[in-house]
Structure 1
Amino acid sequence: MPLLRLFTLAAGLMDFLTGLGLVFFPAQLLPLMRVATPAPDALVFLRFVGAFVGAVGATYLWAFLRNHRAYLRAVFELTIPFRLAAGAYSATAIALGWLPPVWLSVPATDFALVAAQLWLLRQPRLWSDENPRA
């Protein structure tokens, strides 16, 4: 189904490219996000986070390239806990003042993707075995 593949490609590219940016170019990427760049010694932790963000994106891209509903379904199911954890942590950190409000895009994006993935997973016609190629 083109919808599943488009969604998977968009989510994968978003996270994979963001992760690469956080790993290799955090001081250049953060101002584009309107986020203050931390001290150089703190960038190592941001790069570590970027590695995980990029890995989540890579899982979506892996499923996209496999072009089979079973892989898409697996990625949708497996990334939900990671997105919920990232969204809940960042929302809590913002509420407690540990992160400035400009970081609201992180929980908003993660929770929106969780909602979309849950909705897509509950659409039986998308997961029909009639044509396993997505």
Structure 2
Amino acid sequence: MFGTSYANRASAYARVGTETSVDAASPHKLILMLYDGALLALGTALVAVRNKDIPTKGQSISKAINIIDNGLKVSLDMNAGGELAGRLHALYEYMSERLLYANLHSSEAALNEVIGLLTSLREAWAGIADQATA
């Protein structure tokens, strides 16, 4: 009984910590958090594919797709971003399609491809942190 209560309290504490981080984060930091969340979900999916853990694979890939479609893609300003925003939008679409493929076929190659793309974008975004705060 104590274990369940402790687990619930720990989970609640983690949620509060995450919510506090989100509330205090700059728009630039929020995008980094989205990249990190998608990469974490895809790392979990990759391990699940290797372990033939179908439920975890599906949940993790779905979470990554949700972050890409409803976080990263939605955050694009198509008017102000011009051609770059359009290209990122198309790249996010491509990533979601590859993740659907990865889920259907348990494809490590497709997961690794998207992980590589997201990692490159995350590094580039992190590299402009000084410009974003100026």
TM-score range, shorter chain: 0.3 to 0.5
**TM-score (ref. length: structure 2):** 0.46
Choose between structure 1 and 2 for higher RCO, CA contacts under 8 A separated by at least 6 residues: 1
Greater helix proportion: 2
